[in-house]
Amino acid sequence: MEINIDELFEKQFERSIHFKNVFKNIDNVKTRKIEFDNFYYVLQFNPCRIGSATADTTKKVSSKECFLCEGHRFENQIGVEYNSNYDIFVNPFPIFKKHLTIVDKHHVEQEILGQEDIMIEMAESLQGFTVFYNSRHSGASAPFHRHFQACSSYELPVFAQWNTLFFDEGKNVKKLSEQCVLKYDGTRYFFMIQTSDNLSAGENLKNILLRLKEVCQTVSPEANVGVTVEKGVYKIVIFPRSKHRPEEYFTQGEEHLTISPGFADMAGIIPCAVQEDYLKLNKDMIISVFNQVTLEVKTI
């Protein structure tokens, strides 16, 4: 199924000045790059993300007050049906120039198990986009309602650097198969899957997620996952997570950082809702934050 995303954006901008303005602001957002040996992160000063960065993810929210449920969504937000279970919306607080939220029609908790194939199907339908997922305690600001997000793949550093990362054979790389590698770059552990077969893509993704759930003994596998399909090649990245927020999030004074890493952060885009964070973040701070929230995985 192909969705006319450009048409959705046009209609949403016509319906709401808020959406038109926030995406116009994204075009002019301040950014700066922090480079490591063979990869980089991009900092983005984005005040509109303060709600997500500071969200109370422990609060129980019913369908009567859920902002992803029909009747409670952002004012004048419109969507299109993807299938009988999911609708696609323009994200009202974007990180990316094209940022979508893909919402389950039912008020069920955030869960990826059992949805791996549909996630891959979404990536097939949304050519040029990466479909991504944040688990309940690893960046999801709405863990009470299942949803995915999507953005233009070229905006994500991990996909922009894909070949360099996937084919690197450094000392911190474990080749699990011809299609899958496990990497550690000094800041984060992550799995990379590349295959031309959608069945193989799904099986690899399911196996890693089930193993992560088993290793961590959690209700749901804690991870950030991104899937893109480019010219018949399926590319999947999985960032296993140990916790939601770093110690710096809870400290006071100069050491405080309002950073709550989700998929975007793990994939190389760090939206800073607070200007002080944007100005002071450096390599050492990034190493500290991401080493805290990544799950150390030696094997799987």
Q: CATH fold of 5-293, please?
A: HIT family, subunit A (3.30.428)
What would the mean pLDDT of 160-176 be, rounded to a whole number?
Answer: 88
When pLDDT is cut at 50, 70 and 90, the band that residue 56 belongs to is: low
What would the mean pLDDT of 20-47 be, rounded to a whole number?
Answer: 93
Q: Is the pLDDT of residue 208 over 80?
A: yes
CA pair distance 272, 85, nearest whole angstrom:
33
CA pair distance 272, 259, nearest whole angstrom:
7
DSSP 8-state class, residue 294: B
Pick from 46, 107, 115, 29: nearest CA to 73 = 107
What would the mean pLDDT of 99-122 be, rounded to a whole number?
Answer: 97
Higher local confidence (pLDDT), 54 or 160: 160
Beta carbons within 10 angstroms of residue 281's beta carbon? 19
Q: Is the pLDDT of residue 57 over 70?
A: no
Whether residue 138 contacts residue 231, with contact meaning beta carbons closer than 8 Å, is answered with no
